[in-house]
Structures are given as structure tokens and as C-alpha cells.
Amino acid sequence: MTDTVAALLSLHRPRRPWQHAWRRPYAAAYEQMLARRPVVRALVVAAFGRRYMADFLTLAPASATPTFAEELAAVMARPDEQIRADLRATRPGPLDGVLSVDGLTREAAFVLDWVWTHTVRPEWAVREQRLRADVVARTARLSTEGWAGVFPDLADTMQWLGDGRLRVNDLPDPPLPLDQAEQLSFVPAHCGHGWVLWDQPTRFGMVYPVRGVLADTVPPAPDGLDRLIGPNRAAILRRLGTPVSTSHLAALTGLSLGSVSDHLRVLLDAGAVTKQRSGREVLYWRTAFGAVLADRSAVPPAPGRPD
């Protein structure tokens, strides 16, 4: 659901270059859908304020691995008046007259289901790999640097203040006590900036931008690394700055799964990469030694003795 809300925001108000590029194939169908459903158009406009998003879009998940259907059911459980109250809190002032109709909850569920079905679900296999890889990378950093090392990298405004206090943004809102919280989740999403999730007073969460959003910008491996370990192995090592699965590596490099597995086995035996299981997949990423190999290979070698 969080990725679906992020996709809806990109369709409604793209601000970053990658959001404009991602939106382009879906824009015509999205605008046609809004033209047929004026209530949905007014609802989306009201749901995304300048600073806040309507609460029905930011419900904290009830479990660690909810399905989209389960999260959509949580939205559908909110009555029409609650949806209207969420919209008023986001954008103070009178609501558009079309939002006074019965069935507003049904319209909110419709637009979320439409975005999921037409834009997110077709990409979900790739999106889920990227999200899982981000979780593994952040968890590894947490184990070495603690929360103080993790939070600044999640969002520019996020900071661990100590004494059980976390600042998530610089808005003039009063502190939110979590003494009754049963769950605090950190959720990566394909978004430009994060937001807060909650189902007060027991469930809370923080959405943050996943690394490498919808982009593959790994440069070709330098010649020095090519000659040292071979061009295919070098290409794989260069792509392991963040955790990646075997199948994703095969898609990125064009190599077969068997070939990727063989190269990874050699890199593992050499201590250049490490691995960790995440769900049904095993993710691989560079060790400190592997990072030195990948980075130092770009430095021209010192002049040697003439042959």
C-alpha cells in the first residue's frame, strides 16, 4: 500500500525527474480515469496537501507482511465521514461539493486499487527486490552504527536526538508520545520524500525513499578490474554496492542465472562479497575488501619497471 500511495503521489504531483519519467507511460490512462470519476479527482486533490497527506493514505500496517488486499480492507473499514474528516485535516476549509456524496470510502478504495492494478503490481517483482535489498542494507548498517547512524541516511530531516526521542521532520507539530505504541515500522518506498504512518495510539511507522529509485546507473567496470578478475565478474562486483539478488543480477547483466551463481561463488570464496537470506531470496553485496577492489580499480596504476 505504501508503494501504491507513493505511485499515486507521483501520478498526481511529480516533482523529481525520475517521477516524471515513470509517470509518462501511465499518464493518459490515469487522466482518462479521473475524467470519468470527478469524485476521485476531487478526492485526490484534497488528499495531498502542501505539508500533509490524508490519514486514510497513511495507515500503519497491522502486520509485518500484509497483503495489498488486507491493507485496502483497512481503508474500506473507514466510514465516509471519517474519510471526509481526514480530508479536512489535510486541507482546512470547505471541501469540494462532490465530496459530500455517499460512497466516498468506495471511491477512495477504487483509486488505490486502480493505481495498484495498473502501475504497481506489474512492476512489483522488481520493486520488491529493491525494497528487500534496502532493508538488508539498512539492517547491516544498524548493526554496526546503531540508530544514530541509520536515521540521517533515511531522510534529511530525520535525526536521533537521544533519550528515546526521534525527530522525523521540521514541521511545527507537537511531539507525539509513543508510550502506548506496540509497533514502530520503517518502510522503504519508491517516493521522493518520506512521511509518517500511524494508527494511533498503538501502531506507527516512518516511510523513507528506497535507494536506487527506478534507476540503474552503475558505470561499466574499469579496465584494471576487468583484467584482474574478468569483465563479467567485475561487472557483478560493481553492481553490489547495495544488496542484489541472483535473479536481479542476471537481469541487470544479461548473464544466465548459472553464470551469475558461478561468479558469485568465486567472489564469496575470495571474500569480496557476502550474502544474507531475505524472504525467498538470497541477497549479495560487497564486503570492505570488495569495495576496495571496485574503487581502487579506477585509480591509474603507478609506472612500473620497463620490460
Q: Tell me the percentage of the chain whose pLDDT exceeds 90.
A: 44
Find the mean pLDDT for residues 290-297.
76
Find the mean pLDDT for residues 283-298.
80
- The burial of 284, by beta-carbon neighbours within 10 Å (0-12 exposed, 13-18 middle, 19 or more buried), is given as buried
Contacts with 283 (C-beta within 8 Å, 6 or more apart), sequence order: 132, 133, 136, 243, 244, 245, 275, 276, 277
Q: What is the pLDDT of residues 2-47, one digit of tens each?
A: 999 999 999 999 998 889 999 999 999 999 999 999 999 999 999 9
Q: What is the pLDDT of residues 132-162, one digit of tens each?
A: 878 877 777 777 777 777 777 777 777 778 7
Q: Is the pLDDT of residue 300 over 60?
A: no
What is the three-class DSSP state of 76?
helix
- Regarding pTM above 0.75, the answer is no
**Pairing verdict, β 281-286 and 273-278:** antiparallel
Question: Mean pLDDT score of the chain, rounded to an integer?
Answer: 85
pLDDT given for residue 51 in this prediction = 84
User: Sorting pLDDT into bands at 50, 70 and 90, what band is 129?
Assistant: confident
**C-beta separation of 74 from 5 below 8 A:** no
**C-beta separation of 190 from 181 below 8 A:** no
Which cell numbers hold the place of 220? 561499466
Q: Is the pLDDT of residue 304 over 60?
A: no
User: Sorting pLDDT into bands at 50, 70 and 90, what band is 307?
Assistant: very low
Of residues 121 and 294, which shows the higher confidence score? Answer: 121
pLDDT given for residue 215 in this prediction = 43
Q: In what order do the strands lie in the sheet with 273-278?
A: 244-245, 281-286, 273-278
What is the three-class DSSP state of 233?
helix
What is the three-class DSSP state of 80?
helix
Prior bond of 201 cis (ω within 30°): yes
